[in-house]
């Protein structure tokens, strides 16, 4: 099937998509180099079909999504990438889409920011069959990332993402609210607020889309594709180099804040597809690093209570180091953080966890002890950091 890859109303590439695998098998013409997806241009400045294909398939629901197998059976589709053309590749994260070569379609009439969409795919991902026999697959859920079950809903006119939990503890939605409360109290971190809702006894987190029809989220994965990383350059420095080259403002400050909150909540899954930068979809001007979002896989959500060690000196992390104890050393400035803002955080965490029937008192107390310990450790790290600055200043003066 032949399509034009569009960026809003701008034709970017004409391409052929295999109807069996959903992958791009041929590129015919490049109409606009400037509007190619970030990270799909090779070192010679040319569009790379392999990179474009990774970007395209990367838009589909990952195979690791909870409940995906049952959802695909309900939808009558053998693999998630075949859902991409069912919604013309439209997303609520950016402004790219595909237009069949033999049709004339206006972006204004189909984009999900202005127009309604079907909830059939989202319902299937949550294990529900549609009431009617006929499925409508025109949905932004076809292009949603992540392994937890989730779906887009229009709530009071706003595009909102609803996410569930996993395992016996169903802890991820509560972690989202805990992270939001912590960042709210700190007051200097730009973040996406999450609220906790309950339906049929199950917890879900809900957040409003922070992308508009004028902006788009570019993943950190796409950003790091813009330069080849030399072997001697760390992944952290490479990301910074890419941000510098692209002209993304204030990236260092945003990274400092994101890595700090991830340390506090022991976020184990800050991979390159759940943070990134925002740019203007018209001018392509970079606005800055995206607000902190997707903090559910934290506070040892997948560990039995008996295996949670308050004094553990190694907690796994992403994306730049394997442990938070090493990753926190990448932070270049703590002046934005007032330690007094930590007062009451542990108590608020306890109140949130107490709402859940899936988390007993023993686990709640252990998680609160962990958070309290990590706050104390961070305060010690900040003191040591400030002392090192003083020592460096004295040496410089001498």
Query: What confidence category does residue 82 fall into, taking pLDDT thresholds of 50, 70 and 90?
Result: very high
Provide the 8-state DSSP code for 218: E
- Examine the fold and report which residue of 115, 145, 168 is the final residue of a domain before the chain moves on: 115
Instruction: Report how far residue 188's alpha carbon sits from residue 182's, in angstroms, rounded to the nearest whole number.
Output: 11
Neighbours of 10 (CB within 10 A): 16
pLDDT score, position 134: 84
- E strands, 66-123, are 96-100
Question: Is the separation of the CB atoms in 150 and 92 below 8 Å?
Answer: no
Residue 187 has pLDDT above 70, yes or no: yes
Q: Which of 21, 9, 20 is nearest to 53 (CA)?
A: 21
CB 144 within 8 A of CB 60: no
What average pLDDT score do residues 187-211 get? Answer: 96
| Residues of the domain holding 299 | 215-397
- Is residue 62 situated within a structural domain? yes
Checking if the pLDDT of 250 tops 80, the result is yes
Residue 341, Ramachandran bin (φ over 0: left; ψ between -120 and 50: alpha; else beta): alpha
Indicate whether 140 pLDDT > 80.
yes
Residue 124 included in any domain: no
Does residue 232 sit in the same domain as residue 106? Answer: no
Q: What is the CATH number of the domain that holds 235?
A: 1.10.1070
pLDDT for 370 equals 96
pLDDT of residue 208: 98
Mean pLDDT rounded to a whole number for the chain: 94
Residue 394, pLDDT above cutoff 70: no
Is residue 154 assigned to a domain? no
The first and second tokens of residue 377, run together, are 């450790």
Q: What 3-state DSSP class applies to 2? A: strand
pLDDT category, 129, cuts 50, 70, 90? Answer: confident
Is residue 41 within 8 Å of 134, Cβ to Cβ? Answer: no
- Which residue, 56, 84, 115, sits at the end of a domain? 115
User: Token match 């069996």: residue?
Assistant: 20
What is the token pair recorded at 391? Answer: 């020592």
What mean pLDDT comes out for the span 310-322? 92
- Shortest CA distance to 169 belongs to which of 294, 348, 302? 302
pLDDT-derived band at 393, boundaries 50, 70, 90: low
Q: What is the mean pLDDT of residues 248-267?
A: 98
Q: Within a domain: residue 166?
A: no
178 within a domain of the structure (yes/no): no
Is pTM beyond 0.85? Reply is: yes
- Taking alpha carbons only, the member of 57, 291, 64, 52 closest to residue 194 is 291
- Residue whose pair of structure tokens reads 């009451």 in the numeric block: 344
What is the tens place of the pLDDT at every residue in 165-175?
999 999 999 99
Domain end position, chosen among 83, 115, 147? 115
Domain co-membership, 260 together with 378: yes
Could you tell me the pLDDT band of residue 391, with boundaries at 50, 70 and 90? Answer: low
For the beta carbon of residue 356, count every other beta carbon within 10 angstroms.
19
> Residue 396: is its pLDDT beyond 60?
no
Domain count, the chain: 2
Residue 254 lies in a domain: yes
Q: CA 81 to CA 97: how far, in whole Å?
A: 14
Q: Is residue 70 a contact partner of residue 127, using CB atoms and an 8 Å limit?
A: yes
């Amino acid at each position: 099937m032949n399509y034009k890859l569009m960026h809003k109303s701008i034709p970017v590439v004409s391409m052929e998509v295999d109807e069996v695998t959903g992958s791009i098998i041929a590129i015919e013409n490049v109409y606009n180099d400037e509007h190619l997806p970030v990270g799909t241009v090779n070192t010679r400045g040319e569009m790379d079909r392999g990179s474009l294909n990774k970007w395209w398939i990367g838009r589909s629901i990952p195979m690791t999504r909870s409940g995906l197998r049952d959802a695909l059976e309900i939808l009558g589709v053998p693999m998630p990438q075949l859902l991409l053309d069912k919604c013309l590749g439209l997303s609520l994260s950016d402004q790219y889409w595909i237009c069949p070569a033999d049709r004339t379609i206006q972006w204004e009439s189909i984009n999900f920011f202005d127009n309604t969409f079907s909830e059939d795919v989202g319902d299937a991902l949550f294990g529900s069959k549609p009431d009617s026999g006929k499925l409508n697959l025109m949905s932004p859920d076809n292009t949603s990332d992540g392994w937890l079950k989730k779906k887009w809903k229009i709530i009071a006119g706003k595009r909102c993402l609803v996410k569930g939990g996993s395992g016996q503890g169903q802890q991820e939605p509560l972690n989202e609210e805990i992270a939001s409360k912590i960042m709210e109290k700190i007051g200097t971190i730009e973040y996406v607020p999450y609220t906790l809702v309950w339906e049929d006894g199950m917890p879900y987190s809900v957040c409003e889309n922070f992308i508009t029809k004028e902006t788009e989220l570019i993943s950190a994965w796409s950003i790091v594709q813009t330069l080849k990383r030399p072997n001697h350059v760390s992944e952290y420095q490479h990301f910074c180099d890419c941000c510098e080259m692209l002209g993304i403002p204030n990236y260092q400050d945003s990274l400092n804040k994101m890595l700090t909150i991830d340390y506090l909540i022991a976020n184990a899954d800050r991979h390159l597809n759940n943070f990134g930068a925002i740019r203007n979809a018209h001018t392509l001007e970079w606005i800055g690093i995206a607000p902190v979002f997707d903090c559910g896989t934290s506070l040892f959500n997948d560990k039995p209570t008996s295996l949670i060690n308050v004094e553990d000196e190694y907690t796994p992390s992403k994306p730049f180091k394997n442990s938070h104890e090493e990753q926190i050393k990448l932070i270049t400035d703590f002046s934005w953080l007032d330690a007094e803002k930590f007062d009451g955080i542990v108590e608020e965490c306890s109140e949130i966890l107490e709402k859940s029937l899936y988390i007993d008192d023993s686990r709640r107390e252990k998680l609160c002890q962990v958070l309290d310990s990590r706050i104390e450790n961070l305060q010690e790290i900040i003191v040591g950091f400030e002392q090192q600055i003083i020592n460096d200043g004295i040496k410089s003066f001498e």
